[in-house]
Amino acid sequence: MAGPTTTVKVAVPVVLDLDARLVEVGLVMDARLALANLSFEVDTAHIPAADPIPEVTAPLPLTPTAAPCPYPTPVAATLHRARLRLEAGGWCTDQLCDEQGARYLIGVIQAAAPTRGQADDAYVILLEAIRRDFPTADTVPSWNDNQRDPRLPARYLDRAAELAHNRGL
């Protein structure tokens, strides 16, 4: 004869996914913040001139400023300023300056150079930087006219500035 049988219920652990755990933690944090707020109000109730917690406002918008020139040498600084002018004013082909104010590589260098001599030195360094990768480039204007957008002209102004800086120009 068999004795009485008993059934044992085994508790299966509940596995929560990430979203459920985040909800659970969010509820716990809300309760803690409510308790902290209540505690603050109780702790400051006896202070007659206690200011409420100030509202957090958005930070004031910052006005962009030009980054300082990384090059102490004059020709490198001229090429760096030319790069900044190219980005700010735009780039064009076939003319020194178009109706919208966009400039040719020669035009941005002329506008950025404080003297004619520094502009001429910057042209020479820029042509050398271009010819390292484009040996068939005859002049800066002819190379400029063969470009489709300002990315390569801007890149070669940077390369020329670095080259001038390395040479102490």
Does the pTM of the predicted model rise above 0.95? Answer: no
- Read off the DSSP letter of residue 116: H
**Phi-psi label, residue 168: left if phi above 0, alpha if psi -120 to 50, beta otherwise:** left
Q: What is the pLDDT along the chain (169 residues), one digit of tens a residue?
A: 566 777 777 777 888 899 999 999 999 999 999 999 998 888 877 766 656 666 767 777 777 776 788 999 999 999 999 999 999 889 888 877 788 888 889 889 999 999 999 999 999 999 999 999 999 999 999 999 888 889 999 999 999 999 999 999 8
pLDDT of residue 50: 58
| Neighbouring residues of 151: CB distance < 8 A, sequence distance ≥ 6 | none
- Phi, psi for residue 123 in degrees, rounded to 5: -60, -45
pLDDT of residue 155: 94
The two structure tokens encoding residue 24: 């659970």
pLDDT of residue 94: 82
> Strand pairing partners for 103?
91, 97
**Which residue is associated with the tokens 């001229």?**
78
pLDDT of residue 54: 64
Whether residue 161 contacts residue 76, with contact meaning beta carbons closer than 8 Å, is answered with yes
Break the chain into its structural domains and give their ranges: 17-52, 74-167
